[in-house]
């Protein structure tokens, strides 16, 4: 039996306030102490309250703007991924004559007032971001760009099909002899980290293999010393023959850690980044990566959100868009070396190709 | 005697409408035909009407958001300059807990309603952009990122000190023997184009030199065939020994046109881009450029606008921030070649250095 949806009355009763105070607390209006407002919001999050977005929009009227929220908006602007994501969202909003509001971020302090927008894209939702929680309980329609981590209220999600892309690259390197993968992944604060971990574990289990894991904080901007982290992993797990990393910074750390141990990246140990970046084509060796297509994802999120705002569309909980692989020397050196380390290779030393595999900058 | 400021009553009388209709037309509220609204706006622009921004903000209250307008917002997101400019503005808005709204652009069609923001940055104002005109007559405080072209209503401007940077590089190449500069510049629709042209002409006149000119449409994204344009210039003006270009795309066209005429860029004819881009360090030869510092400019514009919005600051009409030079092989090959083409060089073949000159990627 489907449970009865949580109502505003439920939230008010549980928080010990009137219905109108609860409504004002969630919409950022009204006068009350900050602790009351936060208590009501916490209660709404805990109960899983979702206000009626349509009623909300009829009450407030259209603004012609949608917003983009990211936990570290200003910092993230230096990442190629986020700039491309914004560019994709802007492609769509501009073509549909909507403004795109980049929201001020501060993961520990609530906003003074709710943004005056018709809907919000939450890019890379992170579990403990109070502003994301605020938006999710505000009644403003929300679409998330990437999946929610466990324990967070949710909205419809538009994300990348990481499972498919990761399985493609794992199958490819398996054909090159990989038997002991290691994932240096984002922690469970990010939905992406959870998907990567589950996919690698499932894939390994299906083949009787075991994955080694190390996690780094997604929200930290990956600031741990990556070379030390990967070095510790390599020393503790000497059989590892594939390093899956989350970013170009960790890829560089992995290359340095391998070389420091006289292990040749791309031949002795393969390296794959789960997110592509321009720089990964320029490293020595260039690093095979999953191209997440952030511009296409930003555009898909904006289109989905505008379909809710303008057409009251009912979105599915999860829409996945495909990623592509960029095969580079950090996996392909082994493929091109006859009599290399890959004793368990299938008959041919040519890598398996698929329609989804794109080669570039492979140095033989 | 200072002329009396143009009032709303003047605009209403001239446009033949009531004062309240004029007010509603300019603020995007009220019901009227689109032709009435446009007629009132045209009148306001023609008379140079500037509503009282302070009164306007007291009337409407704060939104906690400022906006960024650019004539080709979505397209411009693919330019490194604009992304950096947005990142700089975001650095400031995010630190001051303001949202940054990227406005939908359409240079020929007015908006349905005015944006709900406390102020607007107009990046690169272009003369015939109806949405910029609309914002300038709306009563919303405006700061422009770069100077207005002639014939446009204005607001306080925060811009780059192009004059100083251009004179620095011209003095430098003059020391390398340059006597016949040519500017392939943006046309007078952009304030930047006007400043570049005037600066080169003044500098040349002071030395008894004459500049050759070609213009390309700034708003077109420089889509003319650059190689053809520069080639025609080189054929018509065989003495040209310096090509000043506005972008990396035109720099590539200049290099191709020179090579097609057996002229070596950086030795026979020097090439300087008036705006730097990452790519200019990677071309053959790498191209000397003025680094406009778009991130610093975006931040300076946001700071200036927030000082108006939050502190009712009175901004000067023009604030200039410095640019730096990146010296690369497209001017330095000549400097490093003893007995090269530069017969009029001063005693030393070493280029003149100044605190503002930065060298990188110079290939001897």
> Which CATH superfamily groups domain B1-49?
lambda repressor-like DNA-binding domains (1.10.260.40)
- Interval B243-260: pLDDT, tens: 999 998 899 999 999 999
Taking CA atoms, B252 is separated from A57, A278, B262, B281, in Å, by 51, 21, 15, 12
Contact between B324 and B358 (Cβ < 8 Å) = yes
Q: What is the DSSP letter of A114?
A: -
- Minimal Cα distance from B76: which residue of A? A87
Query: Is the CB of A101 less than 8 angstroms away from the CB of B99?
Result: yes
**Omega prior to A285 cis, within 30 of 0:** yes
Q: Is the dihedral of CA A80, A85, A91, A97 positive or negative?
A: negative
Query: Is the CB of B104 less than 8 angstroms away from the CB of A99?
Result: yes
Nearest to A107, CA basis, from A135, A138, A79: A135
Contact between A184 and A214 (Cβ < 8 Å) = yes
Q: What pLDDT score was predicted for residue A224?
A: 54
Model ipTM? 0.75
- Interval A40-79: pLDDT, tens: 877 877 777 766 544 444 445 788 999 999 988 778 887 8
Query: Is the CB of A101 less than 8 angstroms away from the CB of B104?
Result: no
- Interval B129-164: pLDDT, tens: 889 998 998 889 999 999 999 888 899 999 999 999
Query: Is the CB of B90 less than 8 angstroms away from the CB of A103?
Result: no
For chains A and B, what is the number of CB pairs under 8 angstroms? 95
Instruction: Report whether CATH 3.40.50.2300 matches the domain B162-292+323-359.
Output: yes
Sheet strands side by side (includes A324-327): A212-216, A181-186, A242-245, A270-273, A288-291, A324-327, A357-359
H and E: helices and strands count for chain B: 13, 13
The tokens 């970046």 sit on which residue?
Answer: A277
Q: Which of residues 88-107 of A touch B (CB under 8 A)?
A: 90-91, 93-106
- Interval A114-146: pLDDT, tens: 898 999 999 999 988 889 998 998 889 999 999
Burial of A278 (0-12, 13-18, 19+ CB in 10 A): exposed
Residues of chain A contacting residue B89, judged by C-beta atoms under 8 Å apart: none
A277 touches chain B (CB under 8 A): no
pLDDT band at A218 (very low <50, low <70, confident <90, very high): low
Query: Is the CB of B94 less than 8 angstroms away from the CB of A105?
Result: yes
B87 touches chain A (CB under 8 A): yes
For chain B, the domains span 1-49, 162-292+323-359
More confident residue, B41 or A212: A212
SS3 for A64? coil
Tell me the angle at which helices B80-95 and A80-95 cross, rounded to the nearest 10 degrees: 100
SS3 for B118? coil
pLDDT at A201 over 80: yes
Beta bridge partners of B244: B183, B272
Alpha helix locations (H) across B207-293? 226-236, 248-260
Q: Return the percentage of chain A with pLDDT > 90, whole number.
A: 57
Phi-psi region of A92 (alpha: psi -120 to 50; beta: other; left: phi over 0): alpha
A interface mutation test: which of B102, B112, B123 has the most A CBs within 10 A? B102
Tell me the angle at which helices B8-15 and B34-47 cross, rounded to the nearest 10 degrees: 120
Q: What pLDDT score was predicted for residue A342?
A: 39
For residue A10, report the phi and psi dihedrals to the nearest 5 degrees: -60, -45
């Amino acid at each position: 039996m489907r449970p009865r949806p949580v109502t505003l009355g439920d939230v008010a009763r549980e928080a010990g306030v009137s219905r109108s105070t609860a409504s004002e607390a969630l919409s950022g209006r009204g006068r009350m102490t900050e602790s009351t407002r936060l208590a009501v919001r916490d209660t709404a999050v805990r109960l899983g309250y979702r206000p009626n977005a349509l009623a909300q929009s009829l009450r407030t009227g259209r603004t012609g703007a949608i917003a983009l929220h990211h936990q570290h908006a200003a910092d993230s602007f230096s990442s190629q991924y986020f700039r491309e994501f914004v560019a994709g969202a802007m492609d769509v909003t501009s073509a549909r004559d909507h403004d795109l509001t980049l929201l001020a971020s501060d993961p520990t302090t609530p906003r003074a007032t709710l943004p005056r927008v018709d809907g919000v894209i939450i890019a890379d939702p992170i579990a403990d971001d109070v502003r994301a929680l605020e938006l999710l309980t505000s009644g403003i329609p929300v679409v998330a760009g990437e999946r929610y981590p466990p324990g967070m209220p949710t909205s419809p999600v538009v994300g990348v099909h990481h499972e498919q892309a990761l399985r493609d690259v794992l199958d490819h390197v398996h054909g090159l002899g990989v038997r002991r993968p290691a994932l240096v992944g984002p922690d469970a604060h990010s939905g992406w980290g959870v998907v990567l971990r589950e996919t690698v574990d499932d894939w390994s289990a299906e083949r009787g293999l075991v994955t080694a894991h190390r996690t780094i904080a997604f929200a930290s901007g990956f600031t741990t010393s990556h070379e030390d982290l990967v070095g510790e992993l390599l020393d503790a797990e000497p059989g590892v023959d594939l390093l899956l990393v989350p970013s170009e910074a960790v890829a560089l750390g992995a290359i340095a850690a391998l070389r420091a141990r006289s292990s040749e990246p791309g031949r002795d140990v393969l390296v794959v980044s789960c997110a592509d970046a321009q720089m990964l084509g320029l490293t020595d060796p260039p690093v095979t990566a999953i191209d997440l297509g952030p511009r296409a994802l930003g555009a898909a999120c904006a289109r989905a959100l505008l379909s809710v705002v303008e057409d009251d569309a009912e979105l599915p909980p999860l829409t996945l868009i495909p990623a592509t692989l960029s095969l580079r020397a950090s996996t392909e050196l082994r493929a091109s070396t006859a009599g290399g380390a890959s004793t368990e290779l299938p008959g041919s030393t040519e890598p398996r190709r698929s329609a989804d595999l794109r080669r570039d900058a492979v140095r033989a």
